[in-house]
Amino acid sequence: AVCSMGNSTSRLYSVLAKTLSSGAVSQHQDCLEQLDSARLDPLDPKDLLEECQIVLQKRPPRFQRNFVNLKKNTASNHRPIRVMQWNILAQALGEGKDNFVKCPMEALKWEERKCLILEEILAYKPDILCLQEVDHYFDTFEPLLSRLGYQCTFFPKPWSPCLDVEHNNGPDGCAMFFLKERFELVSSANIRLTAMKLKTNQVAIAQTLKCHETGRLFCIAVTHLKARMGWERFRSAQGCDLLQNLKNITQGAKIPLIVCGDFNAEPTEEVYREFSNSSLNLNSAYKLLSPDGQSEPPYTTWKIRPSGECRHTLDYIWYSQHALNVNSALGLLTEEQIGPNRLPSFNYPSDHLSLVCDFSFNQDPDRLL
């Protein structure tokens, strides 16, 4: 990778170029050290988006998705808080373990897939970004997003499956990013989830933020629960542990809460019911897109593996329904947009869809649960 830093667009391109290799993190140390001095230089998101589009010019254009207005007739005196949840697909797993039989390997090249991920983030401009399966944190997301004004936190899995893949880029984990111009960090907790009193390989990050505009506190959490069929009780135990941690952090729901995650669980699973029935009074934001407001979307992930087609609802944005309103939510990709070969593809970089919601604080902060 070229490590020299130029000026203007060439300088920006060199930042992008440094993150293209999918080799081990140790191979990037020289670049990372030189990037340290550049992190203080803010990036213009338009410039970064333009660079991404140059890299992607041979690919089909990104899908158009529209926000659905969910706001009731309640006036809000502050800018909404946009939250984005996304399992971006770890590069090592996409190339080495996940066996997307209908996805050409060419579509998974990090040089271009990385730009598709960045393009999606830049398109929706989240105030808070919650990601799972991040295995290019130190050489891509932290260097770039910190220069876009985000404060960045990463918590890797203790035994990441990425490490079993040759030429991996280190462990994958959960990452959280929030705009420093909008929020102040009050407290932060990295949580290694337990199940049956045993520490597990799954993690969460929970941060209490103060909104500069309103002075209100709220907690934002990101997690990624255990995958695969047959692990339902394990996920349930992990969910209980996470909820207990969040009860302590939010002082029993006194502080409003948003929980983003790939739960690897359909709405029929016990862990979903635990979150629905929790004393934290949580609701799932994407239910509000359904006609009755009671049903989850038909899918948030859709892929084809050797065992067949996998179409599931696994990803959620939970929120304190007594303290927060959902103003709008980003509509999902249609089956026609996704196409017969499903995800990932040349059009879309992950096997999971991004979820994006705009939240506002309830104007009656003392309203009872």
pLDDT surpasses 50 at 219: yes
pLDDT surpasses 90 at 27: no
Residue 144's nearest CA partner among 250, 260, 303, 15 is 15
pLDDT surpasses 50 at 33: no
Residue 352's nearest CA partner among 81, 53, 87, 38 is 87
β-pairing verdict for 282-284 and 308-312: unpaired
- Per CATH, the number for 79-364 is 3.60.10.10
pLDDT digits (tens, 9 = 90+) for 37-69: 445 689 999 999 999 999 999 999 988 999 999
pTM above 0.75, yes or no: yes
Confidence of residue 71 (pLDDT cuts 50, 70, 90): confident
**What distance in Å separates the CA atoms of residue 84 and residue 98, rounded to the nearest whole number?**
24
pLDDT digits (tens, 9 = 90+) for 160-216: 999 999 999 999 999 999 999 999 999 999 999 999 899 999 999 999 999 999 999
- Identify the pLDDT of residue 363: 78
Which residues does 287 contact at the CB level (< 8 Å), separation at least 6?
A: 293, 294, 295, 296
Mark 25-36 as b/e (b = at least 16 C-beta within 10 Å).
beebeebbeebe
Sheet with 355-361, strands from edge to edge, namely 67-69, 324-330, 355-361, 81-87, 128-134, 173-179, 150-156
Mean pLDDT computed over 102-127: 96
pLDDT surpasses 60 at 30: no
The partner residues of 188 in beta bridges, in order of sequence, read 207
- Identify the pLDDT of residue 325: 96
